[in-house]
Structure formats: C-alpha cells, structure tokens
Amino acid sequence: MTRPSPMIQRASGCVARVALAAALLLAAAPAGAVDLEGTWYVLVHYQDSESNKPEAWRWDDRVWRFHRNGDALEWTEFAIVVFHDERGRFEALSGSRAARIVAAWEPSPEQLADIRDGLEVNSARGVKTKALRAGEGGALASSAGALAAGGASVISYTEEWTIEDPAGKPVFARADSLGGASAESMEGRTEYRSEEVAADGSEISGRFERDGTRIGLFRMIRSGEAAAVGSSDQSERQRKVLLERAMQQGIVSQEEVAAVFAAQVQLGEGAAGVDRAEARKKIREGIETAIRAQGEDPGALAPQVDSLARKIERLLLDEGKSVAEVQRMLETGQLQP
C-alpha cells in the first residue's frame, strides 16, 4: 500500500469535503508576505468523485510564471512539466504510452532540488497566458477573452482568471464557459485557495477544487526559471534520460534473456553458440521500450542507445556478466552510454 504523502497525511480521515476543509482551516498558520512575481511549481493532490476509483488519491502538476508588464500581471501556465528525474511519477501502459501513477506522489529530495534549480517545460503545447489587472478590493482579473460572436451555430469559449488577495493568502481561480445561442452552456471553475504561506513566502499551500468533483490540496513551491525542453545541454540531458529510464524500467527481463540464450547457456565460455544478432536486437528493444514507456523518443537518443546496447552485449556475451550485474553497473554509474 502506498504510504500517504505529507500533504495527504494532514487530511487523514477527512475524505468528506467538509471534514477536509475543517482540517485545513484548523492547521492554517499565519501567512508571510507573498510576492507572486517569478516562477512557481504547483503540485495538486485530489480525489475525483466521478472517476472509477473515487477514493483514490491522484496528482497533477504544472509550472506558473508571473511577470509584471506595465499595469498588468501576466500569468503564464505551462501544463507539461519535465523533471530530469521522473522516477515515481508515471507507469508504463501498453505500447509506448505512459500514465500518471494513481497515488499522492511527492517529489524526492533530488526532485525538490530539480524544482529549486528550475524545471523544463513544453513551450509549444499546453501553454496559456493571461494579463490580469487590479480591480475592486485589489483583486486581479483578466478579461473573459470571448471568441467573436457569430450566428446561432457558433460555439464560443471564454476563460477568466482571477487572483484575490494576491499579497496575502491568494485565491487563484479559473472560470470557463463553453456555449452558443443554440447550445446549452457548459461552465466550469477551478480554485486554488491558499490557507498557509511560509514565513519567507517561498511556499503556499491550501485547498484545491475543480467543479465540485475534484477535491484536494495544492502546494506551490518557488522555483528557478523554467526552460523550454531541449534548451539545456543536450548531451547531458540525453545521458540522464537514458540512464534513468534504463534503471527504472530495466534493460531486458530475465525471461527475454532466457529465451535468447536458451536458458542454460554459460555466457562466458558458451558465447560462440549464441545468436548475437538476435541478442543485440533484444537488448536494443529493451532499451528503447524503457525510454518510450516514459514518454521519450528513443530516436532522439539513437547514438546513446547504440553505444549502450553494444556495451551491454559485450558484458553479457563476452565477459559473462549476468543481467543483475549489468543493472547494478547502470545504477552505480559504472556503465554509461
């Protein structure tokens, strides 16, 4: 059984919405001053009452960037976040697909360091920006941004973003509407309501709610500046991705090795009887599957895949190493592309 995360432990026994809210209110501490400008990593833990497992905790994350532009505060959301160390976040599905684990995932110390240093984000997909301006009571709000009106058959979509009490305990809200003159309107609302602010303003946490069906907690951590995926040093990035995927998923299974090597073959002295082409193919397929299962394209890592496959082939067939020994060499850094 997955151990509840620190955020979920605060709400232990508070599955019902009212009890969850009460626990958070009781735990609330005096807020420090908040300066939203800059980059923040946002982690959400929630339960979805409309899912097939409404009692299960789930996670989502994103990066928010706030930038002052004249009299407006520009709020940019990057919905696709990339860690150098993705362990514990996703599970492999059939084929090359992967999905978030169903759990209240919390970043490891290494992943927290990654957040502090600045994550990578997809700057081409899942990016939205709104300019918010001060209104009554100091709250910030964007214009609704409606699409141009048209005939009865035209469907329009609008979004309004607001931040109440931006310098105290901010309440971040998104209101969206989809409809038209001849269609029933569909409306939604997402809210991140702050309850606790770190004394130095570097972390904010509180309640999360989406349309009354997704209820949970959120945590904001001040982060280093985000960079577009691929903008950092490519060779180092590719080496880390390859090794992490290999360590997490495994290069090849014992069953695959047994099938290729006829189970009883002693790899050192009996290597001459092994079909090396088939063995090399299996090893390469194992590496590519491990990378693909975590959402990466093995084609972009072709030189590293080739290098690592040949090294593993040599260790298994010429030096008589076991799969377990090769795996340990990967984990300790003795074996690199």
Per-residue confidence of the chain (337 residues) as pLDDT tens digits? Answer: 444 455 544 433 333 332 333 333 333 334 456 899 999 999 999 999 999 999 999 999 999 999 999 999 999 999 999 998 888 898 877 655 678 899 999 999 999 999 999 999 988 888 999 999 998 788 999 986 544 445 555 667 788 999 999 999 999 999 988 765 555 567 889 999 999 999 989 999 999 999 999 999 999 999 999 988 765 444 455 455 555 545 444 554 444 444 443 332 333 334 445 567 777 777 777 777 766 665 566 776 777 777 777 888 788 777 877 776 776 676 566 676 6
Give the span between the Cα atoms of 284 and 35, in whole angstroms.
49
Please give the angle made by the CA atoms of 127, 42 and 133, to the nearest 5 degrees: 60
CA 321 to mean position of chain CA atoms:
36
Residue given tokens 């151990």 in the structure block: 3
Q: Are the C-beta atoms of residues 78 and 239 closer than 8 Å to each other?
A: no
Alpha helix locations (H) across 71-126? 109-117
User: 12-16: long-range contacts at Cβ-Cβ below 8 A with a sequence spacing of 24 or more?
Assistant: 15/47, 15/55
Which sign does the torsion angle of CA 231, 236, 242, 244 carry? negative
Q: Are the C-beta atoms of residues 46 and 212 closer than 8 Å to each other?
A: no
Domain ranges of the chain: 6-228, 234-331
- Say if strands 120-121 and 227-228 run parallel, antiparallel, or are unpaired: parallel
